[in-house]
Chains A and B, each alone.
Chain A
């Protein structure tokens, strides 16, 4: 098979585009490799300091836990909801889609002020709820992640024939629960993973809500260290990039495995 020729202009634009993203990362990387004492290249001292910092591990664990909790709550809440909207209320889809856009347009600072006001003053939520990141922050993060979760899952549901698959499953004797777990979920797996990893990336990097609600998460730790220690801050930034990349990479890998599987299977059939 002949490879398609890539034009010069495409190469130039691709290089420029790549440079826009890569140069700051390389610069941050080089900066993080400077010696903490002398400021000269190259030393892993900044990374050493980070890895041995208890605050780093505490906050990263907390943020990771919040991410997982947000993902679980979001999927439990939105998978059945979006399934039902696609199946029974297709006319409501534009309404839900509009609702999903709201967290995009409302700045997080307004969101957190509104949420705090609502929970504290309107419904007088107890301190065990407001003072615990696993409750209050997860509530806020589920709202914040709603657009990403909705649009990922919505694309997944649109890629399958929800009606026919559901009816086929029911005609074979399956209940709603069995249909959702055995037929629908496996077929929107990639969309659900995509939603999960986007949520992970958002929660790991969320700063405004955590700061205003006075919680010490991974992003507030980065902000704090940035004000006091420049080189370790760059190292932490790169580590957080790495975590996000790993998450994105897993989505790509899972998607790719499926496509490769398809290609192999089709080739077998053709032979």
Chain B
């Protein structure tokens, strides 16, 4: 049975259609991330679930009960916010205890619960401190403990790590997942960081322009993107626009590329060929380029640690490859190289004539 269900949710602000009919179902104990760029509607969707805003149409169901018109204080949902939201006039303990006090729970039970939760988030010793005495990461841990204290049926997290530095972010997101698994609480997590979403979610829903583009497990989203936007938003992707020219081959601005996925497609069909940079190999050219390979000059080489991102350019044509740093050593900028990829690795998306293919720069993530 679905625990949380979002049915055809729509919400507009004047002429801006923030949500254009989204549908999403969460099973009990599932961790689903709403992922997308700024303005895609992910936070609007979360606020509707939390009850801070009302949809223009559509409904929200928890355990098959319609809660669309319930006020936020009657929804039994814990929320962690993007901004630091601890009550400044209360200590960490008092913050965690707040929801229990509002619910008029007995004092002894409250104390025990507060202690348990602060231990759970690793802050057993910081209970007497005020928010301004805690670091950003500690504040968000207390906020998580506070949200969990009321034993909510659903946990909502609105970009809780975006204000933290990179190291703390990675550490805390793993803790959030650990705690979520430990408590088995159904969780909706909003983020614009695809790495964050892929690393901790059971399923990811990618949103764009007020719609859910695709919902799937992290490997599905990475390996089988359903739309050009998802392909580009999840991980880095080469996007080569071409036409099917023969069985298993496409023409990319005059270069013939072998692509298994093109088999069975009608000749002349416009396609978007998606190639992950890690599947591309680059070697120094020693003679004329073999048929079906992409030859060009190294336009740039970016050191990323264990891998190096090499961009190979041939006029307007460009192909990006992530290769091991050792292999990239001889590939200096300007060197003549040949780039190849296994014919079975690219994914093809059919493009109707006139379909725009430009979406945000994948490297911006």
A269 an interface residue at 8 Å Cβ cutoff?
Answer: yes
Contact B87 A171 (CB under 8 A): no
- B residues in contact with A268, CB < 8 Å: 133
Q: How big is the B interface, by class?
A: 20 to 34
A173: which B residues are within 8 A, CB to CB? 73-74, 76, 99, 102-103, 150
CA distance A170 to B70 in the complex (A): 12
Give chain A nearest CB distance to B109 CB in angstroms: 16
Are A172 and B102 within 8 A (Cβ)?
yes
Q: How far is the CB of A232 from chain B (nearest CB, A)?
A: 46
B102 and A167 contacting across the interface, CB-CB below 8 Å = no
Q: With A160-B88, A165-B87 in contact, is A171–B133 under 8 Å at CB?
A: no
Q: Would you call A262 an interface residue if the criterion is a C-beta within 8 Å of the partner chain's C-beta atoms? A: yes
Query: Is B303 in contact with chain A by the CB < 8 A criterion?
Result: no
The total of chain A residues at the interface (CB under 8 A) is: 24
* Residues of A contacting B51 in the complex (Cβ-Cβ under 8 angstroms): 170
Contact of B198 with A by CB under 8 A: no
Residues of B within 8 A of A172 (CB): 73, 78, 98-99, 102, 146-147, 150
Nearest CB in chain A: distance from B96 CB, A: 10
Q: Smallest Cβ distance from A217 to chain B, in angstroms? A: 37
Contacting A at CB under 8 A, from B108-142, are: 129-130, 132-133
Q: Which of chain A's residues has its CB closest to B82's CB?
A: A164
One digit per residue, 1 when the CB lies within 8 angstroms of any chain B CB and 0 when it does not, for chain A 171-215 equals 111110010001100110100000000000000000000000000
**Is B77 in contact with chain A by the CB < 8 A criterion?**
yes
Which of A164, A186, A262 counts the most chain B CB atoms within 10 A? A164
Q: Is B50 among interface residues, defined by CB-CB distance under 8 A?
A: yes
Q: Which of A160, A167, A175, A183 contacts B81 (CB 8 A)?
A: A167
In Å, the complex CA distance between A104 and B89 comes to 34
Number of A-B contacts (CB under 8 A): 79
Name the B residues within 8 Å of A265 (CB-CB): 129-130, 132-133
Q: Are B83 and A164 in contact (CB under 8 A)?
A: yes
Are A266 and B102 within 8 A (Cβ)?
A: no
Q: A161–B99 contact, CB under 8 A?
A: no
Q: Say if the beta carbon of A168 comes within 8 Å of chain B.
A: yes
Is B359 part of the contact surface with A, judged by Cβ < 8 Å? no
Interface centre among A164, A165, A172, A178 (most CB of B within 10 A): A172
Any B CB within 8 A of the CB of A139: no
User: Is B337's CB within 8 Å of the partner chain A?
Assistant: no
CB of A169 within 8 A of chain B?
A: yes
Within 8 Å CB of A266, what residues of B? 132-133
Q: In the assembled complex, how far is the CB of residue A249 from the closest CB belonging to chain B, in whole angstroms?
A: 23
A269 touching B150, Cβ below 8 Å? no
CA distance A257 to B277 in the complex (A): 59
Give the distance in Å from the alpha carbon of A57 to the alpha carbon of B83 in the complex: 52
A189 → B minimal CB distance (Å): 8
Shortest distance in angstroms between A156's beta carbon and chain B's nearest beta carbon? 12
In the complex the two chains form, what is the Cα distance from A165 to B87 in whole Å? 7
Which residues, 88 to 106 on A, are CB-close (under 8 Å) to B?
A: none
Q: Which of A217-271 contact B (CB under 8 A)?
A: 262, 265-266, 268-269
Say yes or no: B88 contacts A187, CB within 8 Å: yes
Overall SS of chain A's interface = helix
Task: Verify B129–A168 contact, CB threshold 8 A.
Answer: no
Q: Which residues of A contact B79 (CB under 8 A)?
A: 167-168, 171
CB distance from A170 to the nearest CB of B (A): 4
Q: Indicate whether B57 reaches chain A with its CB closer than 8 angstroms.
A: no
B224 interface hit (Cβ, 8 Å): no
Q: Does B37 contact A (CB under 8 A)?
A: no
Q: Given that A174-B73, A178-B102, A269-B129 are known contacts, is A168 also in contact with B85, CB under 8 Å in the complex?
A: yes
CB nearest neighbor in B for A189:
B89
Whole-angstrom distance between the alpha carbons of A175 and B99 in the complex? 11
Contact with A along B59-93 (1 / 0, CB 8 A): 00000000000011111111101011111110000
Collect the chain A residues with CB atoms within 8 Å of residue B132's CB: 262, 265-266
Contact of A170 among B72, B76, B103 (CB under 8 A): B72
B72: chain A residues within 8 A (beta carbon): 167, 170-171
Q: Do B73 and A168 touch across chains, with their CB atoms under 8 A apart?
A: no
> Considering the chains assembled together, what is the distance between the CA atoms of A268 and B91 in angstroms?
15
User: How many Å from the CB of A220 to the closest CB on chain B?
Assistant: 41
Evaluate whether A169 and B87 lie within 8 angstroms (CB atoms) in the complex, with A175-B73, A178-B102, A265-B130 already known: yes
- Chain A contacts for B87, CB-based, 8 A: 165, 168-169, 183, 186-187
9 further contact pairs, Cβ within 8 A, besides A170-B52, A173-B73: A168-B79, A171-B50, A171-B73, A171-B77, A172-B147, A173-B74, A187-B89, A265-B129, A266-B132
Residues on A facing B (Cβ under 8 Å): 160-161, 164-165, 167-175, 178, 182-183, 186-187, 189, 262, 265-266, 268-269
28 A-B contacts, Cβ less than 8 Å apart? A161-B85, A164-B81, A164-B83, A164-B85, A167-B50, A167-B79, A168-B87, A168-B143, A169-B87, A170-B51, A170-B72, A171-B72, A171-B75, A171-B77, A172-B78, A172-B102, A173-B73, A173-B74, A173-B99, A173-B150, A174-B73, A174-B99, A182-B98, A186-B87, A187-B88, A265-B133, A266-B132, A266-B133
Q: Would you list the 5 A-B pairs with minimal beta carbon distance, nearest first?
A: A172-B99, A186-B89, A168-B85, A171-B79, A170-B72
